[in-house]
């Protein structure tokens, strides 16, 4: 097997697709593709967005989100193919990967995509929204994003609640949200405060201690 540092783009893609989706071998290939940061890799990843298998499309998202990091030379071009992977009919694993990739790009154009996924039936997708939505809210912290995080802070899934509440309490400046009041955010945090101590995650306890 060709070492990732010596492999071509096609070889790296093949290695990633043949490996265990959660295994180290796949991520070594993904990271090698990301490090290339060139037009050839971008075009290959963009073609994979139209792949017939969810594994191909998820790989495309993983590559596009951090292609050429930290400079991210294809940031602007990557937003459209990534948002295209978040359609309602798409496999949840692909949507999750695309949302996480968009979270690395810090682009407000992705906000509507995040908002469109906040009610997804798969908790992993909602988790990706809660964890990455703030990256798309812009300097003015769009109040629609704040409202979505407040909704997710009351999600049925513990990890989704955890990350949404963290985003509300740590990353957002409530004063900049014209249509969402400080009282709204306090209500969301108060709901967490009413959770019995033994039922809180460590992250939730740290938030309430600050």
Structure tokens at 189: 């945090």
Q: Is the pLDDT of residue 175 over 90?
A: no
- A 10 A CB-CB count for 183 gives 10
Spell out the residues 6+ positions from residue 190 whose beta carbon is closer than 8 angstroms to its own: none
Contact 112, 79 (CB under 8 A): no
Q: What's the residue count for the chain? A: 210
Q: Which of 26-40, 90-104, 114-128, 177-191 has the lowest mean pLDDT?
A: 177-191
Instruction: Give the integer Cα–Cα distance in Å for 190 and 39.
Output: 49
**Mean pLDDT, residues 94-114 taken together:** 97
Residue-wise pLDDT for 156-174, tens only, equals 999 999 999 888 876 554 4
Question: Where in the chain are the domains?
Answer: 1-119, 137-210
pLDDT over 70, % of the chain: 78
Instruction: Give the integer Cα–Cα distance in Å for 80 and 203.
Output: 33
């Amino acid at each position: 097997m060709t070492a990732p540092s010596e492999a071509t783009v096609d070889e790296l893609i093949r290695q990633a697709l043949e490996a265990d989706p959660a295994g180290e071998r796949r991520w070594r290939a993904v990271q090698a593709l990301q490090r290339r940061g060139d037009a050839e890799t971008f075009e290959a990843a963009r073609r994979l967005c139209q792949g017939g298998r969810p594994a191909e499309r998820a790989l495309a998202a993983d590559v596009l989100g951090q292609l050429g990091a930290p400079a991210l030379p294809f940031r602007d071009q990557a937003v459209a193919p990534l948002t295209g992977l978040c359609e309602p009919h798409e496999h949840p694993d692909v949507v999750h990967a695309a949302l996480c990739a968009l979270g690395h790009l810090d682009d407000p154009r992705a906000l509507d995509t995040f908002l469109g996924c906040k009610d997804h039936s798969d908790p992993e997708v909602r988790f990706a929204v809660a964890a990455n939505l703030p990256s798309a809210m812009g300097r003015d912290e769009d109040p629609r994003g704040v409202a979505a995080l407040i909704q997710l802070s009351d999600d049925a899934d513990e990890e989704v609640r955890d990350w949404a509440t963290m985003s509300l309490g740590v990353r957002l400046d409530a004063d900049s949200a014209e249509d969402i009041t400080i009282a709204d955010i306090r209500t969301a945090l108060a709901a967490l405060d009413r959770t019995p101590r033994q039922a809180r995650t460590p992250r939730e306890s740290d938030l309430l201690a600050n």
